[in-house]
Amino acid sequence: MILKLVWENVRHKPVRTLLSILLVAVPVTLILTIIGLSIGFFEDSQKRSGGVGADVLMKPPNANLITFSSVTMPSKIVEVLAAEPHVVQAMGTVVNPTSGFLEALNGIDPVAFDKMSGGFTFAEGHNLQGPDDILIDTWYADQHHLHAGQKVNISNKEWTIAGIVEPGKLGHLFVQIHTLQEMVGASNHVSQVFMKLDDPANAEKVVSYLKKKYEGYPVLSMQELQSLLSVDHIPVLKTFINVIIGLSVLIGFAVVSLSMYMAVLQRTREIGILKSLGASKGLVMGIILAEAFCIGFGGTVLGILLSYASRLAIQTFMPLAIVYSWWLIAGGIAMGAALLGALYPGMMAVRQDPIEALAYE
Amino acid sequence: MSSNGAAASPNSSAEQIIRIRDLRKSYITGKVSVEALRGVNLEVPQGEFLSIVGPSGSGKSTLFHIVGGLTPPSSGEVIVAGRNVSAVGDAGRTELRRKSVSFVFQKFNLLPNLTARDNIRTARFISGLPSSHFDDELKSVLDLLGIAGRLDHKPSEMSGGEQQRVAIARALATRPAILLADEPTGNLDTKNSLAVLAILRDLNERLGQTILMITHNTEAAEYGHRIVHMRDGLIVETTNRSDF
């Protein structure tokens, strides 16, 4: 009977209810989109770093392990590292950020790269041949509507798209390493060196050895690099997400509180009727909270649906993951804010004098 | 006829379902204290149909609200259906409304979002009675009220007379010891007023339902066994209807 009463109350003012649900849905979508973007970006990065086929990575001294490195390591170090114990192949690459968000040109030696990674899978075209050739992955091609054979201007240079490859290997854009070295004015230098070992199980041993031998050079296993590619290892991002969650709670709280406050005011007489029938304070509060629960639940469901819509809109620019575990968290936040927001209006309803409530016009 | 003091019941041997001694009620309005009831004494035996009449400000509504547990008395003793209303708190008065008294209001006060059936079911649910089905007793009341065919309509789809009958059905659905009617014909035309009053008298006669009705309308008051006249917070006269 209570469910019927709550349902009829929610249904009685459909516009107000739908607006409240929509406003609760906004922070849910915001949370899921921000989380989806963060995790999507890191999943994409993990996949691409894993796709190189290397076991160990070395970066220049003072370089951040999970961001783009400057081109300051002499190319000769590649040969030196290739001769180290357990290393069967060493490959230097040059990374140069473009004007795109978190986007970079990757300078590679196509032969060495194919040997280490197992080669690209081509959707269109062929491998890098000329100095101005560029390979782009299908994600970038779809985003910019590009095809093999077309010209594309990236970092103020016109490139010829030699081929379009399946994503998941190092980056989205690949050019000849020498061309990129010249572009950045760092001939005979690389940004990082990937190493393939005789056995991946030797990675920790090799990392430890290289750290001692090449003091100051950050060295880490690819497994370790992948574990670092998470929200938890970027304090700024973690803070940003916490701020978004805090704002979401605030918005959800304010929206539901306002909505339920209006509902209580509009239904003053009905609350008086329920009290005249002998409804307890707990029952009246329960009805208000149940309505807030409905709004919170509806907002959560709509927020999840809208997060799919935002994914459709964003994924052409940024990888956006659907993180199912956050449905519960975002839903919990929305429901918590909704119930919290309904507490004050609920208390108002509970405290209403039945005689005054019955006289309310 | 008696005046002031304890308004005597026509059937003093019957169990007194309402017993009021020296009831006083004061309100604070702004900085002014208003004495709405100034020492009311009243006894109502079970099964009586009592009318309370009086001008605005006479205290009849305040008396009604106290007997119905909607507001506490300032002082005095009020026993309603065995409960000492003056000694219980808010929870006790809620319990009184849930178990022992039911209201019929001038403005019907049906829950507007619910059908007539659901209004009745809500009252039964709150009273702790089965709400999913109506028992034979309730069905016979619905037949008596002539609203059995209107149960799936919402208040906005019913006439004033029909709404008041639903309100009466809702009030009786919880099997209250006392039915409190506050100007039940105040919003009805003459035809519906007479019908509702006839129904109240019929319910009283057939089911032995105790009814306490407050009204401005002296013709409506005539339907009661006894008429209590109030003025300035006091019972000033009691008229026993000899034709009952």
Structural domains of chain B, with CATH: 47-73+87-240 (3.40.50.300)
pLDDT digits (tens, 9 = 90+) for B49-64: 999 999 989 999 999 9
Tell me what pLDDT residue B2 has.
Answer: 41
In this structure, the answer to whether residues A212 and A240 fall within a common structural domain is no
Nearest CA-CA distance, residue A8 and chain B, Å: 6
The answer to whether residue A48 sits within a structural domain is: no
In this structure, the answer to whether residues A66 and A181 fall within a common structural domain is yes
SS3 B16: strand
Pairing of strands B75-80, B83-84: antiparallel
Alpha-helix residue ranges (DSSP H) falling in B146-237 = 160-172, 190-207, 218-221
Read off the tokens for A150.
């077309």
**CB–CB of A277 and B71 under 8 A?**
no
Helix (H) or strand (E) holding B7: strand B6-7
Question: Residue A105 is part of which domain span?
Answer: 60-217
In this structure, the answer to whether residues A354 and A247 fall within a common structural domain is yes
CB nearest to B94's CB, from A280, A355, A358:
A280
Confidence of residue B230 (pLDDT cuts 50, 70, 90): very high
The one-character DSSP state at B109 is: -
**CB–CB of A278 and B95 under 8 A?**
yes
Nearest CA-CA distance, residue A48 and chain B, Å: 58
The answer to whether residue A224 sits within a structural domain is: no
Question: Given CB atoms, is B26 within the 8 Å cutoff of chain A?
Answer: no
The answer to whether residue A52 sits within a structural domain is: no
CB A220 within 8 A of CB A65: yes
The chain A residue lying nearest B180, using CA atoms, is A276
Read off the tokens for B29.
């309005």
Share of chain B above pLDDT 90, in %: 70
Pairing of strands B226-231, B234-240: antiparallel
In this structure, the answer to whether residues A39 and A81 fall within a common structural domain is no
Nearest CA-CA distance, residue A256 and chain B, Å: 21
**CB–CB of B98 and A277 under 8 A?**
yes
pTM of the model: 0.74
The one-character DSSP state at B83 is: E
Question: Given CB atoms, is B114 within the 8 Å cutoff of chain A?
Answer: yes
Torsion of CA B188, B189, B193, B195, to 10 degrees: -110
**CB–CB of A277 and B127 under 8 A?**
yes
Nearest CA-CA distance, residue B165 and chain A, Å: 16
In this structure, the answer to whether residues A75 and A125 fall within a common structural domain is yes
Q: Which amino acid is at A24?
A: V
Q: What single string gives the DSSP state of each residue in A186-226?
A: -TTEESEEEEEES-GGGHHHHHHHHHHHTTTS-EEEHHHHH
In this structure, the answer to whether residues A16 and A95 fall within a common structural domain is no
Boundary (domain end) residue, out of A184, A217, A250? A217
CB B100 within 8 A of CB B89: no
**CB–CB of A5 and B114 under 8 A?**
yes
pLDDT digits (tens, 9 = 90+) for B11-60: 545 689 999 999 999 988 888 889 999 999 999 999 999 999 999 899 99
**B41 CA to centre of own chain:** 18
Alpha-helix residue ranges (DSSP H) falling in A13-89 = 14-50, 76-82
User: What residues of B are in contact with residue A276 (Cβ under 8 Å)?
Assistant: 68, 70, 97, 103, 105, 109
In this structure, the answer to whether residues A140 and A11 fall within a common structural domain is no
The answer to whether residue A110 sits within a structural domain is: yes
The answer to whether residue A321 sits within a structural domain is: yes
Pairing of strands A173-176, A104-108: parallel
Span B225-234, mean pLDDT? 95
Tell me what pLDDT residue B10 has.
Answer: 44
In this structure, the answer to whether residues A76 and A208 fall within a common structural domain is yes
- Between B10 and B100, whose confidence is greater? B100
In this structure, the answer to whether residues A23 and A92 fall within a common structural domain is no
Provide the ipTM.
0.89
CB nearest to A276's CB, from B95, B103, B121:
B103
Boundary (domain end) residue, out of A217, A246, A270? A217
Asked whether residue B5 carries a pLDDT value surpassing 50, the answer given is: no
| Number of domain units in chain A | 2
Q: Which amino acid is at A9?
A: N
The answer to whether residue A53 sits within a structural domain is: no
Nearest CA-CA distance, residue A275 and chain B, Å: 7
Residue with tokens 């907002």: A299
Percent helix / strand / coil, chain A, rounded to 5: 60, 15, 25
In this structure, the answer to whether residues A266 and A307 fall within a common structural domain is yes
Question: Given CB atoms, is B128 within the 8 Å cutoff of chain A?
Answer: no
Q: What single string gives the DSSP state of each residue in B31-74?
A: TEEEEEEEEEEEEEETT-EEEEE--TTSSHHHHHHHHTTSS--S
Tell me what pLDDT residue A67 has.
Answer: 64
d(CA A311, CA B171): 55
In this structure, the answer to whether residues A212 and A239 fall within a common structural domain is no
CB nearest to A278's CB, from B105, B110, B126:
B126
The chain A residue lying nearest B100, using CA atoms, is A278
Q: Which residues of chain A have pLDDT under 50?
A: none
In this structure, the answer to whether residues A14 and A139 fall within a common structural domain is no
Boundary (domain end) residue, out of A156, A191, A217? A217
